A and B are shown apart, each in its own frame.
Chain A
Amino acid sequence: MKKYRWQILAVLLVTFGVMLLASGCGGGGSADTVKVGVILPLTGDQAMFGTMEKNSFEMAYEELKAAGKTKVGDKEIQLLFEDDQGKQDVAKSATEKLVNQNKVAMLSGGYSSACSNVIAGSAQNMNMPFLVVTGSSDDITKSGWQYVFRGTAAPASKYTVSFWNMVDEGVVKLNNVALIVENTDFGKSSADGFRDDCAKRGINIVFDQSYEHGAIDFKPMLANMKSTNPDMIFAVSYVMDAAMIVKQMKELDFSTELFVGGGAGYTMPEFKDNSGDASEYIASTTLWVPNVAVPGAGEYFENYKNKYGKEPDYHGAQAYATMYVIADALSRANDFTSTEIQKALKETDVMTVMGPIKFEDWEGYTNQNKPNTYVVQWQKGELEVIWPEDVKSTDYVYPVPKWNER
């Protein structure tokens, strides 16, 4: 080993040298393509979501290609994926590379709020159209940035629109609610929106606490909450925490009339797997479900499952729908300068698996699609849509039976 170590080192150095040169020559490219840069977390702890979105982008691209829709004018759309590792300075590097080195016509992607914020800021600075896929921080479309668009993702404080509709229709009656959220941008923004909505309707918040993402023991918090005797719990958590919370509620025999999750963890198939029968009757807000009455939604779900062997959730649908929005906007753009693409995006009015997408200015938001939200509930191990009334797949169960009466 010792004898060869310098040879090994030399080989390594030469390899890296070649790679360095290769990456430096990444620019240019042929004149008959119009490039779209997509920045997603493909490694790191958000890779599970990033990979699902990348797969969905590619699936949508292949379908569009088969239909001849990737040819816009005399040019072919080309997707360039970049990994942001879930880190925001890497996201900035990726943005700089795509815009200045690869000369993309527009940007898309953005999973975490932090990375989406950085990409959006840089894109606006360089007048580069950026279509957000998932990043949900309210600020992204509240900064008045003309080049930043958000179609398939709702601002975090608007995930609950459908649920409040359920309350306003008198279906759910609330006096005292408890609120627990994870201490992240998404959790905090959701909580802010929820508090405002409660205040408007005169609903008391009897318990309001955030917890560190990745906590294990929720029992002290749940025991405190139980003593405040809430009618309903609203919780925002990722998968592992979500399963832990409902399991420990069952162990404490702590029942409420309703438990509503704020998207993220509570709709994932892993949530059901990890929490077992404790997931029964847990409701959640969501942006998309496969059995919703929108054309193409079910087909997307089935095709994805067949192709990649896993079930997609709303994150995948966001990416899939975004690809269709991009193809539509580029097909309407007069040329591929950033101002023309910006104009085309602004005029978008297209039907996708996420419902209709339009970029409008409302309530202080700029270029923000008015989101379609749904309320879902786990019933007999299946995620069923219970609200809005016209797209429901089954009836709601409310108030839910107590743990010891099931």
Chain B
Amino acid sequence: MTKRNLLMTIAFILVAVLIPVFIKAPYQMHILILVIIWAIIGTSWNLLGGYAGQVSFGHAAFFGVGAYAAGLLTFHYGISPWWGMLLGPVAAAVVSLPIGVICFRLRGPYFALAMLALGEIFRIVFLNIEAVTNGAKGILIMPEITSKMIYYYIALGALGLTLAVTYLIVNSKIGYYLVSIREDQDAATSLGIPTTLYKNLALIPSAFFTGLAGAFYTNYVAFIDPNIVFNLTNVSVMVILVVMLGGVATTWGPTVGAGIYILLGEVFRTTLGSANVLIFGVLVCVIILFVPNGIVGELSMLKQLVSRRKASVSGGI
């Protein structure tokens, strides 16, 4: 980490910690909490999809397992769903293991396809084993905490943990191995990197933190059903958009992407009436066209652009 990056990180942490001191309005806090939830899922996805190059179309499976771990604790045993914050991530990581062990031995699109199927399988199974999950009727909990500030700091702590662990992994030997696998698996194998093992080492933390976000979601939103938490478009595909928007394989990309995605989505919803979804879709297309590497990924290009503008202005005089 360069000195400048370190300063930027400290500044970011300070701002994030101090925000609730200045913004007390619950509505704005709520939006920030949603941003953080998506930042956690995005950062987790990015570790696997961005750095290791293993694209997952089924992160909803991990998200939902985490969410249901928390929900079912309350539903069956009357235990506070906050314990789900411990159980959820572990359950999600356990679920990820067999998929990784089987699919990562293969080349080609098998992992992506298996994940796509996994998300849907979980949705259908959770819909139908009513004795355990209460099926489509979902799980409704009554939250004990009403202050948004507490939720905010818990979510922020979870995001900090996710970012720190991801950063450490990426900047360790594992991270270099992952990038080498992404860039050229044959070359990586010939150098003696056990590719299957290292791909799993990216998948497990990715599933773990997605499960953490899921468990927090249950606590915060207080109602889950299988069609919501195992949703293909609203969770699995949305997380890919968040990461694409922010910047694939960058530390801060998913967080920036989540911020833009949630904030703009909310602004459009409240100002544009029925056309909001359409215009939002157009905007996403425009961003992918103009900044294909995401906002953070194209930072240097954006900077260049600004400096070029200045140069041309002074030259014109």
Contact = CB atoms under 8 A, between A and B. Distances in A.
B30 A121 contact: no
Interface stretch (B12-20, B101-109, B219-227): B219-227
A22 B271 contact: yes
B126 to A, nearest CB: 11
A222 B22 CA distance: 62
Contacts of A85: 269, 277
A88 B221 contact: yes
B264 interface: yes
A26 B137 contact: no
B138 interface: yes
B137 A139 contact: yes
Contact of B270 (A26, A87, A99, A184): A26
A228 B42 CA distance: 51
A330 to B, nearest CB: 23
B146 A125 contact: yes
B269 A90 contact: yes
A92 B225 contact: no
Given A85-B277, A184-B136, A100 B25 contact: yes
Contact of A88 (B135, B142, B223, B286): B223
B273 A118 contact: no
B70 to A, nearest CB: 15
B269 A83 contact: yes
A97 interface: yes
A5 interface: yes
Interface in A179-225: 183-185, 187-189, 210, 212
Interface in B215-239: 221-223, 225, 227-228, 234
A83 B274 contact: yes
B72 interface: no
Interface stretch (A12-20, A260-268, A284-292, A301-309): A12-20
B113 interface: no
B140 A143 contact: yes
B79 interface: no
Contacts of A90: 269
Nearest to A124: B142
Nearest to B24: A100
B142 A121 contact: yes
B30 A92 contact: yes
A82 interface: yes
B186 interface: no
Nearest to A21: B267
B31 interface: yes
B34 interface: yes
Interface string B245-283: 000000000000000000110111111011011000001
B26 interface: yes
B130 interface: yes
A22 B272 CA distance: 12
Contacts of B27: 93, 96-97, 99-101
B197 interface: no
Interface in B109-142: 124, 127-128, 130, 135-138, 140, 142
Contacts of A88: 221, 223, 228
A143 B142 contact: yes
B194 interface: no
A43 B274 CA distance: 6
B228 A82 contact: no
A93 B142 contact: no
Nearest to B134: A188
A125 B145 CA distance: 9
A308 B311 CA distance: 58
Interface range, A side: 35 or more
A90 B286 CA distance: 24
B137 A183 contact: no
B305 interface: yes
A23 interface: yes
B30 A117 contact: no
Nearest to A54: B274
Nearest to B272: A19
A132 B189 CA distance: 60
A20 B267 CA distance: 6
Given A44-B277, A118-B221, A188 B136 contact: yes
Contacts of B277: 43-44, 85
Given A82-B270, A137-B137, A185 B142 contact: no
Given A12-B286, A44-B277, A121-B222, A189 B34 contact: no
Contacts of B225: 114, 185
Contacts of A139: 137, 140
Given A5-B290, A96-B27, A100-B25, A118 B223 contact: yes
Nearest to A43: B277
Contacts of B286: 9, 12
A44 B227 CA distance: 15
A188 B135 contact: yes
Interface in A146-202: 183-185, 187-189
A364 B96 CA distance: 42
Contacts of A89: 34, 221
B143 interface: yes
A221 to B, nearest CB: 15
A189 B137 contact: yes
Contacts of A87: 228, 234
B270 A23 contact: yes
Contacts of A47: 274
Interface string B72-104: 000000000000000000000000000000000
A212 B124 CA distance: 9
A117 B274 contact: no
A185 B143 CA distance: 21
A121 B146 CA distance: 11
Interface string A12-44: 100010011011001000000000000000111
Contacts of A97: 27, 270
16 contacts: A9-B290, A22-B271, A23-B266, A43-B276, A82-B270, A88-B223, A88-B228, A93-B34, A93-B266, A101-B25, A101-B27, A121-B142, A122-B222, A137-B137, A185-B137, A212-B124
Interface of A: 5-6, 9, 12, 16, 19-20, 22-23, 26, 42-44, 47, 82-83, 85, 87-90, 92-94, 96-97, 99-101, 113-114, 117-118, 121-122, 125-126, 137, 139, 143, 183-185, 187-189, 210, 212
Given A93-B266, A97-B27, 4 more contacts: A19-B268, A83-B269, A83-B274, A185-B138
